[in-house]
């Protein structure tokens, strides 16, 4: 089958590899759509970050080159011995988290914080930028007929957004700001709507992404035109309750901190490629708190239920649909060069 594999920075190759098999406990899935994630883009331009290189990953036994893609939907074509929850023809998505099940985090049920945590599509185990994937049964979730395969490909990134909001101190009626209206930032806006935020601000440079944020109901602030921190305090009177940092740009973290009220919270959702200096007194003197989150846990069913109610709409978030053999030029490179792109989905067949 055809699969996109990471060999190094700016070195992705569409190669012919063997189809995965539905061995014991595994579900073989024909991939329908796979989204290009910001994490994939980080690996492309600055990796390896999550991809194991030179030393095999402890849970998958794999190292580069690995098949990429972890935001995908598809149809079950075969199940291995011992699989009881799925059958051929089921429409599914995959929660692509590998965890050891033995470390302190896993014993607490916090499998996304596993000492050896890895992502299918980054740490090995196959990936969605291919024709087929074989995943462990516990990683697979059914989606109802009312959710399209395109919509299904947004379950994984939507889980990041919903988890970020659920881990925050935000309550119904609170005010929030989202720094960065890229794919995850836009999905955070949707999650904030679902959580009952009364005012949602979005700080974004890109005209296309500002428009998307407005379409989703956010109040947009252009950081080129105005002092963001001053504007947020002017509009709210005291600062927002929770700020979500979704850019990974170091200076923005300071803006996020100072945009919050006394006792406010800053949620770091981004993966940073470099260090991000802050002024500790900005946190101390207002008794703010900073929280980081990675991935998600135990939220896929909630995301799917919210999608059934119309949240996280693919028609407002997907800006381009391409084929697997176009994934480098019209996918990864387009996301780097074309600031109007939001979510690009790749058709595996």
Specify the DSSP class assigned to residue 271. P
The dihedral of CA 102, 107, 109, 114: what is its sign? negative
pLDDT of 271:
85
pLDDT < 70 stretches in the chain: none
Burial 151-165 (b: 16+ CB within 10 A, else e): bbbbbbbbbbbbbbb
pTM recorded for the entire structure: 0.95
pLDDT above 70 coverage of the chain, percent? 100
Q: Which class would CATH give 158-292?
A: alpha beta
pLDDT, position 232: 98
Contacts 24+ apart (CB under 8 A), 222-229: 223/255, 228/203, 228/255, 228/259, 229/255, 229/258, 229/259
Q: What is the pLDDT of residues 36-76, one digit of tens each?
A: 998 899 899 988 999 999 999 999 999 999 999 999 999 99
Looking at residue 143, its pLDDT comes to: 98
- Model pLDDT, residue 70: 98
* CATH architecture group of domain 2-154+312-347: Alpha-Beta Complex (3.90)
| Helix or strand run (H / E) with residue 106 | helix 104-107
Same CATH fold assignment for domains 2-154+312-347 and 158-292: no
176 within 8 A of 197, measured Cβ to Cβ: yes
Q: What is the pLDDT of residue 68?
A: 98
* Per-residue tokens: 104: 């302190």
Cα radius of gyration rounded to whole Å, the chain? 20
Residue ranges of domains in the chain: 2-154+312-347, 158-292
């Amino acid at each position: 089958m055809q699969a996109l594999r990471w060999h190094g920075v700016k070195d992705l190759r569409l190669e012919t590899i063997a189809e995965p098999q539905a061995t014991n406990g595994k579900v073989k899935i024909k991939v329908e759509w796979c989204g290009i994630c910001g994490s994939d883009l980080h690996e492309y331009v600055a990796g390896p970050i999550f991809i194991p290189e030179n030393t095999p990953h402890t849970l998958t036994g794999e190292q580069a080159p690995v098949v990429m893609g972890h935001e995908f939907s598809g149809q079950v074509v075969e199940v291995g011995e011992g699989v009881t929850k799925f059958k051929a023809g089921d429409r599914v998505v995959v929660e692509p988290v590998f965890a050891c099940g033995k470390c302190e985090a896993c014993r607490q049920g916090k499998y996304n914080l596993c000492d050896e945590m890895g992502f299918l599509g980054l740490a090995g185990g196959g990936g969605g930028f291919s024709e087929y994937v074989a995943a462990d049964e516990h990683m697979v979730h059914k989606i109802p007929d009312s959710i399209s395969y395109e919509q299904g490909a947004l379950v994984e990134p939507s889980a990041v957004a919903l988890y970020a909001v659920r881990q925050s101190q935000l309550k119904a009626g609170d005010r929030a700001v989202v720094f960065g209206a890229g794919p995850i930032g836009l999905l955070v806006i949707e999650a904030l709507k679902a959580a009952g935020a009364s005012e949602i601000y979005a700080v974004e440079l890109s005209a296309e992404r500002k428009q998307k944020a407005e379409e989703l109901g956010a109040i947009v602030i252009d950081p080129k035109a105005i002092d963001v921190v001053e504007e947020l305090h002017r509009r709210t009177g005291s600062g927002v309750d929770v700020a979500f940092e979704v850019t990974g740009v170091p200076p923005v973290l300071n803006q996020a901190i100072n945009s919050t009220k006394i006792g406010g919270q800053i949620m770091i959702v981004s993966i940073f490629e470099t260090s991000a200096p802050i002024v500790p007194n900005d946190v101390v003197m207002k008794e703010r708190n900073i929280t980081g989150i990675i991935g998600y846990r135990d939220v896929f069913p909630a995301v799917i239920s919210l999608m059934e109610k119309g949240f996280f709409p693919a028609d407002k978030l997907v800006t381009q649909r391409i084929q697997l053999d176009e994934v480098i030029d019209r996918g990864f490179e387009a996301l780097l060069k074309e600031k109007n792109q939001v979510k690009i989905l790749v058709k595996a067949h």
